Amino acid sequence: MVSTEVFKKIPKVDLHCHLDGCVRTPTIIELAKKQKVKLPTTNVEELNKYVRVSPDCRSLTEFLKAFEFFYPLLQNPYAVEKIGYELCEDAASENIKYLEVRFAPFLQTSENFKITDVVKICLDGLRQGSRDFKISVGLILCCYRSIPKEANIITVELAKKYFDSGIVAMDLAGDETRYPTRDFAEPFVLAKKYKIPFTVHAGESSGPESIKEAVKLGASRIGHGVHLIDDSNLMKEIKEKEIPLEICITSNVQTHVVNDFESHPIKKFYDNGIIVTINSDDRSVSGIDLTNEYNVAVNRLGFDISALIKIIHNGINALFTPNKNKASLSKIVETEINALGIGV
């Protein structure tokens, strides 16, 4: 039996983590105070009821409500820098070696906070956090399904400007049921032209057709991809093309993409030879960390430790980073796992 303490010490990589879903509750209180915004309570436990989904959350609507509550507090430079910095500390504290964090910079803008500055400030916070807490960090910029087309094009241009200076890839996020993936060819054709790799949230709330469209666009990874289970031919294609899935187990249960932990298809994907990775998604809103997700994988979904280690290496191989970085990270991870006495 592996203890939570050991799960915490296992070296990890997180490929799917939303900056705006990882804001600490005390930070929300501090940001509100600074901006003279009145909160219903300044007690952390009490405020958690507003900014975190309850452990038995069962709908996407309930899940998104938590974001609405604190989002206006994040649209300023101080907040963006601080939450980036603190996320590095939180991730490093559970031995995440490499964090790929993502956000849609357009959503953080305000009248006095332009999109270029949002990206610059966010990179500053992450860089500082990466240095202070000894964690490698790559930023993924998200195009967002419900924002104006021009804003997504600007997002790609910014990714190009800061590519290799902290930005490693792009993503498409937002409501895939109302804004289908096929409508976003333009920004991603541009991303391809600039040789910026990208992932796409697909097959989370929509069916396998959304994953098909993401593959057609040229996605090198799929965010969630849970509904791949509904299409065996597509499963074969994803396997053959070796496209990794960024799975976020608790998030999928909370948003009711799956009915419960036990019915999550990740184990079936794994057993079928599909490349799966395990990630956190929105640690604060979900009230979890990656340690919890590893624990769930082993104790509720039937993975053994050797499979978990394989999944960690899947994550390393799927990172948006050059192969030489992957090879050195792989070695570090192997050494630490052996030192924990759980290697195979």
Kindly state the tokens that stand for 313. 């290496």
Give CA–CA dist 87/95, Å, rounded: 13
Nearest partner of 211 among 189, 243, 259, judged by Cα: 243
Please list the alpha-helical segments (H only) found in the chain: 4-9, 25-34, 44-51, 60-70, 77-93, 115-133, 149-161, 185-193, 208-217, 232-240, 249-254, 266-271, 283-286, 290-299, 305-318, 323-339
Give CA–CA dist 219/213, Å, rounded: 9
Cα–Cα distance list, 314 to 12, 17, 279 (Å): 11, 17, 12
Dihedral angle of Cα 281, 287, 289, 291, to the nearest 10 degrees: -130
Give CA–CA dist 170/199, Å, rounded: 6
Please state whether 166 falls in left (phi above 0), alpha (psi between -120 and 50) or beta: left
Kindly state the tokens that stand for 114. 């332009």
204 noted as active-site residue: yes
Give CA–CA dist 129/85, Å, rounded: 5
Kind plus residue range of the DSSP H or E element containing 137: strand 136-144
Of 204, 213, 246, 293, the active-site residue reads 204
What residues have CB less than 8 Å from 173, skipping those under 6 apart? Answer: 18, 102, 104, 142, 143, 144, 145, 201, 223
Residue 116 sits at the vertex; the CA angle it makes with 110 and 118, to the nearest 5 degrees, is: 55
Q: Annotated active-site positions, please?
A: 204
